[in-house]
Amino acid sequence: MRTTTTARKLAPMVLLTVLLVGALSPAAVPSQVGAPDPSVIDPKLGEAMATAPADEPLQVIIQFEGSITEADRRLLQVEGVESLHEFSIVPGVWAKATPQQMTRISGYPRTIWAELNEPLVYYMDETTTVINATKTWDSRIEGSLWGATGAIDGKGVTAVVLDTGVDAGHPDLDYGSKCILNLKSDTGVGPWYEVQNSDTSSGHGTHCAGTVLGNGDASNGARRGVAPGANLIALSTGEAGAIINALGGLEWVYEHSKIGNNPYNIRVVSNSWGAGGGNYSPSDSISQAIDKLVYENNVAVCFAAGNSGGTGDDIQTSNYGNTPAAICVAASGRDGTYITDFSSKGQWDLIDTWPDIAAPGHHIQSTAARRTQISIMTRDPSANPYYLAISGTSMATPHVAGTVALLWQACPSMRVSNVSQDWGMVENNNGVYSIKPPDTPSDLPFAGYPIHESELILKLTADYIPAQGTAQEGMNGQTQNYVTDWSLPGDAASRQHDFCQGYGLINVNRAVGLALALERIRWDYPEATVLDAYSVFEGIFEHKEVSMPTDQVMTSWGGEWSRFNQLNSFNQNLTKFVYVPAGADSMTVSMNYPPVSVGDRQLNVLWFMIDQNGDGSWDYTSSRTPSTTGSRTETVPISGSTGTYWKFGLGGNSGKIPDIIGGDHQYKEARIEFEMSVSIHFPSGTGDIVINELDLHAVNGHLRFAEPSTTYAGGNVTVMMWVYDLYNVSWSPNPPPPPVVLTKGHPLLWAILLLGIVAAALYVIARTQPESKVGRAVRRVAAAVGVVALLAYVRRLVTRLTARRSKAATKG
């Protein structure tokens, strides 16, 4: 039983009951209101009702059975309750009600739940560094409907970040193109209005959005988010967030993501907020909204586990994250080798309270909004004004949301799975941990709720983080504190998970591989499941040499050069490293930028520099002459320094009329968009040029094949690459069992033979020992069978005679 949380909930219930009884008199109760019912009052609302003055209005959410009716509205009016908004996603009303009024409303038969519109906690703590998914972005796909490509970057998928807002004027978030909607509501329930910057005091939402899908333009792609090709819808629910604001945001998503009416292709919602740890309650309005989004609209919902730490002795994980349909995210260290101390833990013996998955949440470097609480607290004026590092499960959750966006691109057929949410209780038998079912079904009323396929894919492909060191005090002496998943078949049943990390650290490459395999199988068998694909998906991964008849390779990137005049002429670091393979004989570098930015009132000039030997000085600098077209193409000589990385840098000047007299950008800096490409040429006709495996870090330019040059005379370029080979994925449903055929050696034949032997033995006994018990029994059975057979024969004879007479009469 849930002794840890039951006692905690009973205390406010008892206090509330005393309040309810003392506050009521029969004359004050309208005829349609019965006795007070503490069971419909959320414990936190009960605590507030017990401590607040009886006539002090509280902001509450009151839910009614089925849907809101005129009778419900009249009740609120009669009671003097101020109704602020009616929700469509749940049958609930946001209202102001005093403890006395809530006491009476609890006795209304149609009231099914009431909760406090309590302040939400936005999870942020320390600094972090960026994680990337470059192996996935650049892995070649073979055997796909899309052809041979490596474009799994979230393209075509829209993620919603429901948070404090987003500063879409940031170069990485591209207001109007990447950020397709940036909506703000001062009340959380509308009206929603469009702004460029909706994150003006916190900065929390901007940081989260950059981790989900920032394109890295302010860093030459080095600080891209997990799904840099995805689109963003930002919903700001006000700077002082509360449940009412969040529920209004989820309602907006629900209304705009319905199946058949989802014009933005909304597929995932990232929620780095919560109301604290606790059990999942099916009655909570946020949990109901999660269920509707997942089960009705097929939208994945990610929630931060929280930053309250814990030892496993009680429930610290978010009550919203514990909703079965949600993906609850824990925070690992930046290197993925440990779970952070601050990451909220579930109760060690209640599996349904454990996080689902973990992602890096310690020192995550991501997009910074200007002049906000975070930027003031965490950086000095000399730091990079476009990025900052903070920590929390808030920073882990966007990694998971970005990964889910990649999964949607890889497998557009994803849906709710046929696998239920993990549940059960853990027993410790002398250090051996095992799962037992709950004592009664009421202990786990949600057992059997299915999870989304994206969550199942993440769990099946995660890397479990092994326990390290000695047992921590208070953690029940556990170091090896995991249990295997009893609810999954076959190899999947060996997956380990625990109350700190769930199934472990997300593995983007493997998760996308499983999603691709699932989509490939569904081309032929739409009914195939994730577990079907899991049984065969390992064959999709190949690390092999890929050859192309050409004499050139290339890489390209883009970004925005900037200069902050108010920050001591800070120039943004736009370093890029390009590998120059051994054997290359020439390089062509091209640059394109707008020489005049009319809308921004700028005159621009850019140039590039190259450090060829890694000594920190620029060995080659392009022309600095202003270009009327904004294009530069120069041939760079190569000699003696091949097989190494060359460092590229960018310089520039811009004359800008200050924004104080108008303009679109709210940032007070000069900004110039640019594109760079580097082509590396090899002597042709000399056989294969082999390029060894390259470092796929995001700060590096990733080489790919280019068209042959005009002087191409034969030969191949061969590159060691990671490949998703869909030709290696083969699955078919289990064939139906063959029909029973009586063949030699068949068990049925042996049964018939055995019966024959028994019958013969009984016949012999009846003939040789007619007066024995067995003989008499056999004779009686035989006589009965003979009588039945005789009667049947007589009946058949009479039927034939009758038929003949009828036939003769007909002829006559």
For residues 677 and 759, give the distance between their C-alpha atoms in angstroms, rounded to a whole number: 92
- For residue 176, pLDDT over 90 is answered with yes
User: What is the average pLDDT across 486-512?
Assistant: 79
Which of the pair, 805 or 198, is modelled with greater confidence?
A: 198
What confidence score (pLDDT) does residue 15 get?
A: 33
Query: In this predicted structure, which of 172-181, 477-486, 497-506, 699-708 has the lowest mean pLDDT?
Result: 477-486
Which of the pair, 779 or 394, is modelled with greater confidence?
A: 394
What confidence score (pLDDT) does residue 663 get?
A: 45
Q: Tell me phi and psi for residue 651, to 5 degrees.
A: -125, 160
SS3 49: helix
For residues 517 and 536, give the distance between their C-alpha atoms in angstroms, rounded to a whole number: 8
User: What is the average pLDDT across 458-484?
Assistant: 60
What confidence score (pLDDT) does residue 766 get?
A: 64
What confidence score (pLDDT) does residue 491 get?
A: 60
Residue with tokens 């390992």: 538
Residue pair 358/331 in contact by the 8 Å Cβ criterion = yes
Q: Which of 271-285, 339-353, 396-410, 617-631 has the highest mean pLDDT?
A: 396-410
For residues 271 and 162, give the distance between their C-alpha atoms in angstroms, rounded to a whole number: 6
What is the tens place of the pLDDT at every residue in 237-288?
Answer: 765 554 557 888 999 999 999 999 999 999 999 999 887 888 888 889 999 9
Question: Residue 346 contacts by C-beta under 8 Å, 6 or more apart in sequence?
Answer: 312, 315, 316, 317, 322, 353, 354, 355, 499, 500
What is the tens place of the pLDDT at every residue in 652-672?
Answer: 888 766 655 444 444 456 788
SS3 253: helix
What is the tens place of the pLDDT at every residue in 358-369?
Answer: 999 877 888 988
We find that the CATH architecture of domain 122-538 is 3-Layer(aba) Sandwich (3.40)
Fold of 3-118: Alpha-Beta Plaits (3.30.70)
Residue pair 352/324 in contact by the 8 Å Cβ criterion = yes
What confidence score (pLDDT) does residue 444 get?
A: 47
Residue with tokens 């990232």: 270
pLDDT mean across residues, the chain: 79
User: What is the average pLDDT across 490-502?
Assistant: 78
Structure tokens at 360: 């890096």
Q: Tell me the percentage of the chain whose pLDDT exceeds 70.
A: 72
- For residue 91, pLDDT over 80 is answered with yes
What is the tens place of the pLDDT at every residue in 755-789?
Answer: 667 666 666 666 677 667 666 776 676 666 666 66
User: What is the average pLDDT across 724-732?
Assistant: 90
Query: In this predicted structure, which of 565-569, 716-720, 785-789 has the lowest mean pLDDT?
Result: 565-569
- Class of residue 26 by CB neighbours under 10 A (exposed 0-12, middle 13-18, buried 19+): exposed
Query: In this predicted structure, which of 62-66, 535-539, 597-601 has the lowest mean pLDDT?
Result: 597-601
What confidence score (pLDDT) does residue 255 get?
A: 95
Query: In this predicted structure, which of 225-234, 325-334, 339-348 has the lowest mean pLDDT?
Result: 339-348
Query: In this predicted structure, which of 34-38, 88-92, 392-396 has the lowest mean pLDDT?
Result: 88-92
User: What is the average pLDDT across 148-157?
Assistant: 80
- For residue 488, pLDDT over 60 is answered with no
Question: Residue 574 contacts by C-beta under 8 Å, 6 or more apart in sequence?
Answer: 219, 220, 559, 561, 649, 650
Report which of 218, 237, 210, 558 is spatially closest to residue 389, judged by C-alpha positions: 210
What confidence score (pLDDT) does residue 646 get?
A: 92
Q: Where are the domains of the chain?
A: 3-118, 122-538, 550-658+670-715, 747-811
* Percent of residues in the chain assigned helix, strand, coil, to nearest 5: 30, 25, 45
User: What is the average pLDDT across 411-436?
Assistant: 81
Question: Between β-strands 576-580 and 620-621, what pairing exists: parallel, antiparallel or unpaired?
Answer: unpaired
- For residue 406, pLDDT over 70 is answered with yes
User: What is the average pLDDT across 284-304?
Assistant: 96
What confidence score (pLDDT) does residue 437 get?
A: 61
Query: In this predicted structure, which of 66-70, 316-320, 559-563, 575-579 has the lowest mean pLDDT?
Result: 559-563
We find that the CATH architecture of domain 550-658+670-715 is Sandwich (2.60)
Q: Tell me the percentage of the chain whose pLDDT exceeds 90.
A: 36
